[in-house]
Structure 1
Amino acid sequence: MVAHIEEFQGRSVSTIPVHISYEIIQLFSEGLYQSPHKAVEELVSNSYDAGAQHVHVLLPEDAEDQSAILPLWVIDDGSGMDPHGFMQLWRVADSAKASVTLEEADRPPIGQFGIGKLAAYVLAWRLTHVSRSDGQIHYTVMNYRSLQGRHQYEDPKPFAIDLYQLNEDEAKNFLRDIELRSPETWELLFGSQSSPTWTVAGLSDFKRLYDKLSAGRLRWVLSTGLPLESDFAIRLNSDELVSSKLTGPKITTYTVGGHDDPVAKSLDLSVSEGSIEIDGIDGPITGSATIFERRLTEGKSDQYGRSHGFFVKVRGRIINLEDELFGLDALNHAAWSRFSMTIEAEGLRKHLLSSREGVRESEPIYLLRDYLHGVFNSARVAYENFSEKEQQGIDIDTLLRDAPSAFVVEPIVETVRQSLSSQLESFYILLPQLGEGEDQDRWLESFRNSVSQRLIASVEFEKSGPNGRALRYRPDDQCLLVNTDHPFVDKLLAASKNQASTILFCSSELLLDALMHEHRLSRETNFAILENRDRVLRLISGDQPSTAREVLRLLEVANQDEQALERATGIAFMTLGFKYERRGGHEGGPDGVLHANLGRGERTLDSYSVVYDAKQTSSPAVQAGKVDFSQLNRHRTDEGADYAFFIADRYAGEEDDNSALNKKMKAAKDLGPLTLLKIDHVRRIIRLHYQYGVTLSALRTLFLDSRNIPTVEEWLDQFEHQLRHAEPSIPLDRLLEGLEEAKGDQKSRPNVYAVRANDETLKQFSPERLIAALTAVQTIAGERWIEVERGGNVTLHSGVDQILAKVDEQLGIMVATSTESTGQGDDP
């Protein structure tokens, strides 16, 4: 097209003065039209204003070379333009259309500001118009590049555009690209039944914003914005568009006006059959609202445009395309995504902003918004009643056998859709595993059809570990996976004659997860609620907390009760990686046994176990008489353990070398590796763990080399110094990013050993230390963010940045907690 324009000039018949500067173009185009689709719609609106019955939009195909992209054409069979019409076309910020009344035209024009032609500037540097009128064909070319450097403050002379005249053969040659791309359009221009008048607008020499032009989005914009008149048709490339009509099962429809419009009556609006009137807005307001059973926000609607919310039309054109709420406050309710309301309000034309994409604030507009809000609330009540009826039919048979209700299906489908979009699984629902190249929307539709017949196709009972979630749902085959190792599930199974109550519990948990997504809770809020719920379930069943923050708080109060100290100690060592077996001191045994499962390695790097006894007293410190080293050693040998320790808040004479306690310790030196620990020692180890990652091998040396309080504290000081200064810090972000990248391998799980083998920096650290560091991250952030297995397999439930941010947040809380309890802060 550019070559044609430059090589063929035609016959210049006049010049058109354009009073315009570069600043004016930027103000009226870039300032008002941010969407490339709105720019094209403006050209279509011009066709509508010209009385066209047919508009053809031809989009060029993509090309690697920007200069090789063919023009974008908008062709219509409207009234066309003679020389005077071209003169009117380029009268910027002035339009003869605004004076046209309903009585003067069969189709009143949309435009009234005379700036629509400038919208093309956001897409392209060159705008060409070719038009037939009164048997003559004329054309102009506006090259916006020529306006660069023409400033308003310099008061330049008008910019001149040449008006050329063409005969029909010359016009055919000039527009030959249209014939090659659309024979149907060519017939409209030059066929045997061609229109006697027509206009062609062509955009070329495209700008960067053109790259954001989507055929799908434009299709939606044009079809949704079609006027209600049936004599106006739009073709996009080879397809004829139809007005977008929302389909699907409806809950209720609300018609504007009439005797059954309680909202209008409550606002004292003037009501007639099929319309209402508002003082300050001329003429009737008509329309209707519908609320659907299914969400209108699923599939590709977010990409192509919305199907829900308010659609306010003036003369058939939507004026709030980008403002679904029409200025109302956010309506964050499940009903909003199912609600659609369209109104026609001719009288709003006087309230339009210059961009025609909004209205000026005024009392009549406020009253209109109150009416729209009231209609939505009426529809919301209908939806809530529908949902309540749907819920009444839910039972275990519905979930497992019968076709489930929409109340069940829709939240599940929406949750899975969100997971696919973000590539992040929900708390209970696993991320579907789509095949390579498999279409996501087609898969989702197939999934919807499947769950509409049977939400849970099968139930599998598995052992996922006591720290695993109670259940998982696998969308790929609609399988409910029940974790029999979960403490609460274990209790349910033990207390029931069959599995029905357990399946019902897990099904309700699954729906709870989905319903929170349905109500648009953020993923972080969803996880926080369900994580706290899981903790409550564990506490009900007698299980332990799972994060370092909770363990530290538990240790703060553990010295008030001996049994609490027994459990707090075991739980604390569990966070360090030990397996904890509670004994409770029954039948003369230890309070607990800790197993460090390292496997068999070289020299000292093999597994070991430790027994312990907790000591608590109403006195300020545990007296020496309550510390029986011989008995503790018997517990150690009876359990086949390698080491043993006592734990208390304080010991009498712990720092005095000649105290009764230390004399007893010296006398027991030949019994075996026995250690005295304090609650503060364990707290300190926990804090070191969440800062650096403490390995089970390192803790072995504590039990092997330290006996009394001074030697334990000396070991802790040296160990902390080593962690802070001698050993390099583990680059957690690098390690996590490697694991994140490994998630792309569909045939294996992310594993520390595999990531370390491919990273020279990570090879500086032993696999054990890397696993310990990740275990510390799990201990700090919680299992809803990351799960680490002893063998090095890692499951990331969030992105790397989110996990690290959560760790930083929890560290700040734990340091504050430590400061409050000790009166002094720890180094970061």
Structure 2
Amino acid sequence: MSNVIIKSNACGRKVNMSRNVPFRVQSHVLKLLGDELIGHDRLAVFELVKNSYDADATDVDVTLALNANPPTIIVSDNGVGMSGETIESAWLEIGTDSKRKKLARPRSPMGRLPLGEKGVGRLAVQKLGEKLKLTTCQVGQPEFEFSINWTQLIDSARYLGDGLHVQVEENSQPKVFKNGQGTRVEITGLHREQWTRREIRDLYRLVSSLSNPFDEAKSFVVHLHLPGREEEIEGLPTLQQMLEAAVWNFDFTLDEAGLLTWDYSFTPPRFKGLKGRATHGSEKLQLLEPDEDDLPVEIGRSRQKRDDRIFLASDDLKGIGAIKGRFHAFHRRDEILKASGAPQQLKKWLDNQTGVRVYRDNIRVFNYGEPGEDWLGLDARRINRPAGKLGTQSVIAQIALSLASSSALKEKTNREGFDDNEAFQRLRRIVLSIFDRFQREHGSDRTEIDKALKGEQDAPPPVQDALEKLESLGKQHKLEKEVKPILQSIQQELKTFRDVMVSSGLAGMNLALIFHEVVHSIDRVQRKLHGVADPEEIRREIDHLRKLLDTFKPLLQRDPPRKVSVEDLVERATGMHADRFQRHGVVFSNWTADPEKKHSFTQLLPRGLMVAALSNVIDNAIYWTRYRRERDEREAPGAILVLSHWGEETGGLIAIVDNGPGFQLPRDQLGRPFFSTRAGGMGLGLFYCKTVMDSIGGKLEVIDAEELKDVVDLPDVYDGTAIVFSFKNDK
């Protein structure tokens, strides 16, 4: 009832009225929370299993008894159980902060920290059925049980607080836990009594992924029982059987100081003489450049400095902690799977099991690793080099975190991943960087398989394949009218590009360079289509993608040869990087502009292509000088020198010399596309340079800086790599 307060003036005349009105919540909000909080039935089961984990269970049995009368779902564990007080103050109190308060989050006797934070996960049972019966028992204590009919409970009082009651029974003689402890949740009045074979298999796939499959101690195992329908999962391969068919394996630990320790193995099947190998390493982690979408609108000085680093720093792991993980990658060509002894069923199973999963304290963070959830953007990145990078459907991976150390990573209320905050963006960049290290290690072995396969059954054009996926996503979001015409226009543009490039002999190089830029735009569109899609926003993004292609049209235009001086070439190339030398603290020297040290000569060549080639090498030199300085924690700055030399017999040369770590690849891989030791590198820079030099009858060489001293009196500070452009003698 409202309390009415009447205020009056000195003459007793009424002036105004105010009321204390109660703030009330209707009881049906319980049903809304149960329906809206959880996305689907499988997630509801997931929430119940998480409760078993919090109760220190080591075994959980999930039973889907659809042929029973009545159809029933049961989740039973061997955890510590609940006391009568816990039932009243925790299970029957919605939104309790017993897990949420920082000071009230001690580890369990088994060393676990509670996974639940919101205090509402138990409402997940409403997603499954109308009626609940819970039985629980602690060691040496009475067994308790209670039943809830959700409709009757909610209808018993209009408002929360008006007396919703649940009758809790104490069993002096245990009915369920006669010789042990645990909790059993039985759900009847199922909202969905008919499950298809596919849905049964989807549930099996999910349940088998709830516990960490890489936990050798088997400290938390979930079993699925399907009485009367067991045959529907017969013949499905186990995760261990799938892992045995993996061709590449990468185990790693990233400690809180940023040191990456890893073991790699290549285990090909018996196929055309392929040989396996194993190696290991320990190194500072090279960071990929941050995605454009992950940068703030206004980047402060401290953030800019951190994002500009080459190596991971301990600050990057604050609120995340140390990371462990495993990558198991597969070659999905039929020939390789057959040689591995993998049946066709395994290939189909991989479609649903592959992905990059995240675990905290050996329990999965849903929905990372689910089909269609490419949280690392591996598929979009694969567009750059389809034959050299791994997409989500080729990888079964585990990322393991500690709950105690990863406090900055907050799970969403709907239990579908972490909040997309700054800590999660750091985690994503770090894991991508580790994955990039794995891919660079596997590159040469991938090439050996490709040689054995002799390039048969080539994959569809990568950008074409990505555009088809975008069209499919647009159709799913009912944006086909907005998306399809623009995508068709882009496809026609790409066809024109291919035709012109093939006729000019530059298809491989220029298409790769174009894809390298276009992929970022495609990635953005895919993210937006996976999220809340606004038709106008999607149309703008795809239109931007089309305009991106327009910027590359100059690559198709001929650059006629002209007489150019070495001084002019170097000045144009180095001018593009003048601000970067200062920003990165690199000491740059240009001997071609020094009258006492330069060797002048002119050359007949396409100036634009040559300037771009020199610029590519300078860009690499800036990176690798910074790399060595950070890796070795040197006080001496990075140093780059550009010089020219002329010999009547040998002709002219331009050399770019640095004090970096030296050339990291085998020399026989010089100029081969898609081979790089640089984080995120595609190996296209030197490929471009080699192609340009070959086209003008010149030569590109990579040598140690020390070797250049046979030709030039080089200061000792330049002890890294020398990239030498040698020109034929036109005089």
- Which structure features the higher share of helix residues? 1
TM-score, normalisation: structure 1? 0.39
User: Which structure would you say has the larger RCO, counting Cα contacts within 8 Å and 6 or more residues apart?
Assistant: 2
| Normalised TM-score (structure 2) | 0.44
